[in-house]
Each structure stands twice: as C-alpha cells, then as structure tokens.
Copies of this chain bind each other. A is one copy, B any other.
Amino acid sequence: MSLAVGVVGGTGHTGGELCRLLLGHPEVGSISPTTRQEGSFAEHHPNLAGSGLTFSTAEELAERAEELDVIYFCTPSGQAMRQARHYAEHGAKVVDLSADFRFADPGAYERAYGEPHADPELLAEAVYGVTELNRDDVAKSRLVANPGCYAITAILALAPLLRAGLVDLTTPLAVHAVNGTSGAGNAPKKALMHAEAFGSMLAYSLEGHRHGPELENVLEPIARQPVVVDMNTAHGNFIRGIHLQANATLSSPADRDQLLELYREAYGDGHNGEYFVLVNSLPKRGKINEKQYELYPSLSSVVGSNFCHIGLDVDTRRDVAKVVAVTDNLVKGAAGSAIQNMNTMLGLPEQTGLRTYAL
C-alpha cells in the first residue's frame, strides 16, 4: 500500500504530531499538510526538519481530493463539518480530529459549540472512534470522529467498570485531569509563556469543560443508564500528556484485586488483548500510607507513545474506585488514535506505524 494522505490544518500541535507519526507509517506514501500561515513546514515544526514535507493551502488540497486515500482534519471546530463531504464524496476516508462530528445529536453540538451543525446528514453516519470500544463500526465507516483527548482517556479508564454495572451512578463520576501545555494550542498567550507557566499549575474551565457532555454521551450506552460527569481540568508543568483520575462510587464493595482482575479481563494482560491499553497490576507490599510510587502509572511512561497505562485503587472506607489513566494528549489523545482509526478503516493491523514506546 502507498497511501496518499492529506492533513487539513498542519501548523498546530496536533497537525504536526500527526505528520510526525505518518512519516513513520510504513504504508503511507505521501503526506500533504495545509496551512494558512507564513513560514515553511520546518520552521513550524523544527523537529521535522529534513522530512521534506511542504505546505499547500486548504484550497489547493481540496482540488486534489480525488488523489487522496485519507484526509485528516486538525482544524478548529466549524471547518471539518463544512469540508468533509467534499473529500468523502471523492472517495477518501475521513478522520476528523476536531469536535465537529463527535456528537450524534446536532442539537448537542449546537449547545456545546454555539452554532448549528453544517452537515447533519454526514453527521448521521459518523462513527465515534475509540477503536478499543467499537472496532467494527470504525472498520465499516468512511467518516470517523476522533475523540477529545480528555474523553478518550476517561473512556478507557471507566468503560470496564461501567460495562460491568459496578458503579452507583446516582453519584456523578468525578474526572480530574491535568493536561500538558500543548493542549492549550500554540497561539502565544502570556499565561502560557515559559516564564509564567514553568513550575506552576493552573486550573481552567471549571464551570464546565466541553469534554464533559461528550463523555456523558459516550458512557451512557456503555452504562445503559444516565451518566453524570463532573469534569475538572488543569494544565501541569509539562508539554505533553494527560494524567487523569476518575473516581466512581461502587454499587457494592469490591477490593483492588477484584477490580484489577476486571480490567485485565477487559484489556488483556500485557499485549494479549488490547495492544495499546496496559493495566498496572503490581501487588501492594505494604500498608496504607506507605507511598508505593509504582502502584499507579506515571505520566512519563506513555509520553510519545500511543499507549494508555491504567492503575487503580479502592478507598474501601467509602467504596470508591479510583482509576488513574495516563496518555499522551497528542498521540492516544489525538494523532495516534487518528492513525489507529485509519488503520482500522483500511483493514491494516491497528498497530501499524504506532509501535513506538515512550521515551
């Protein structure tokens, strides 16, 4: 295979990361990123100097739609829903990394993003692309909505518990996630200058983050009942990665070992199962309050990779399960999942081009 791939919106963190991963994908023959900005590809992405990639405009790319096997959108919301149909009708598989096709209900989109959806018909056939959850649907689709970075991390953290019916959902699911500063986009802002943000931590959007409703929409069919998510977000002192903790009240007592067993059943043990989801199941060696730093995954274990590492514990005093999931917000949370979805749509092995481990 020698795939021709387009990337609409190639200047941002996500577009750059997608190009980086596509450059290492053995079945990709050409990569065509677009930009609206000045400056060469290597000036925007100095880590990709030497790759030979060059920018065109979105308009130039659109004229070559029939040459493309796959088109990715790494655009702000509102663009993919206007441009995706053009590529789909020329036969390209579409993976949209923006939020435009994430809500099955056009009304939900409008409530979250403040304008009516521009292509409800196309929206109706979009598949929400968490490969681990709905591999078959992804495989059959021509348009995949790539999940939000917080959403996919939370879904992987919570799905086994919800599917097993172990959660008392009269209490909200509490999701607390700390993201790298690459998650804030690359427009210069004073609060995100190195001299401001270094060594610091900063909460944002506490009144309600858009990934909250996205998450509820996805989790309800898994839980087979209404789900309320309490979503809390902050930026930490790192560029990449999401450290997410999801707390769920158990409907009946269970201990750490029982839940680990459940997660191992869901995701497999090591690579026998879901390749990209690893459950950290080291046994406890001590008593409460001996800090065993190896019990839960550290963020750095996944940065640069498409892996999601999961660890968990139970506050047995109150029967609350606490699940920690770590991902790279630009890989599993964006570009890596997008390629995993593409692989699935094209019938390639899911891991193609994504086997790199974290540094």
Q: Which residue of B lies closest to A19 (CB)?
A: B357
B47 touches A356 (CB 8 A): no
CB of A293 within 8 A of CB of B189, answer: yes
Chain B residues contacting A243 (CB-CB under 8 Å) are: 201-203, 234
What chain B residues lie within 8 Å of A20 (beta carbons)?
357, 359
What is the number of residues of chain A that contact chain B, defined by CB distance less than 8 Å?
A: 104
Shortest Cβ gap from A181 to chain B (Å): 4
Interchain nearest-CB distance for A348 vs B (Å):
16
| A198 touching B239, Cβ below 8 Å | yes
A293 to B193, CA, bound (A): 12
Q: Which residues of chain A in 231-253 are interfacial with respect to chain B, using CB atoms and an 8 Å cutoff?
A: 232, 234, 236-241, 243, 245, 247
Interchain nearest-CB distance for A41 vs B (Å): 11
Query: Given contacts A195-B181, A230-B315, A247-B174, is CB(A201)–CB(B50) below 8 Å?
Result: no
Does A194 touch B at the CB level, under 8 Å? Answer: yes
Check A180–B195 contact: CB distance below 8 A. Answer: yes
Tell me if A301 and B199 are in contact (CB < 8 A): no
Residues from chain B with Cβ under 8 Å of A332 in the complex: none
Given A236-B201, A247-B230, answer yes or no on A47-B195 (Cβ-Cβ < 8 Å). Answer: no
- Which residues of chain B are near A230, meaning CB under 8 Å? 174, 247, 315, 318, 320
A50 contacts B271, C-beta separation under 8 Å: yes
Chain B min CB distance to A330 (Å): 8
| Residue from the list B208, B238, B311, B322 in contact with A200, Cβ < 8 A | B238
Interface readout for A12-54 with B: 1 if CB under 8 Å, 0 if not?
A: 0100010010011000000000000000000100111111100
CB distance from A286 to the nearest CB of B (A): 11
Give how many copies assemble into the complex: 4
Q: Please, how many angstroms separate the alpha-carbon atoms of A262 and B356 in the complex?
A: 35
CB-nearest residue of chain B to A26: B26
Q: Indicate with 1 or 0, residue by residue over A185-205, a CB within 8 angstroms of chain B CB atoms.
A: 010111111111111111111
**Are B304 and A304 interface neighbours, CB within 8 A?**
yes
A305 at the interface (CB under 8 A from B): yes
CB contacts (< 8 Å) of A134 on chain B: these are: none
Q: Which of B13, B202, B210, B271 contacts A299 (CB 8 A)?
A: B202
| Known pairs A245-B232, A314-B207; A270 contacts B50 (CB<8 A) | yes
List 12 contacting pairs A-B, 8 Å CB cutoff, sorted by A.
Answer: A24-B355, A24-B356, A180-B195, A199-B300, A201-B326, A204-B293, A206-B313, A207-B315, A207-B322, A208-B317, A232-B247, A232-B322
**Given pairs A201-B238, A207-B313, A230-B247, 8 additional interface contacts (CB within 8 A):** A51-B357, A178-B236, A182-B195, A202-B243, A208-B289, A208-B316, A232-B247, A232-B322
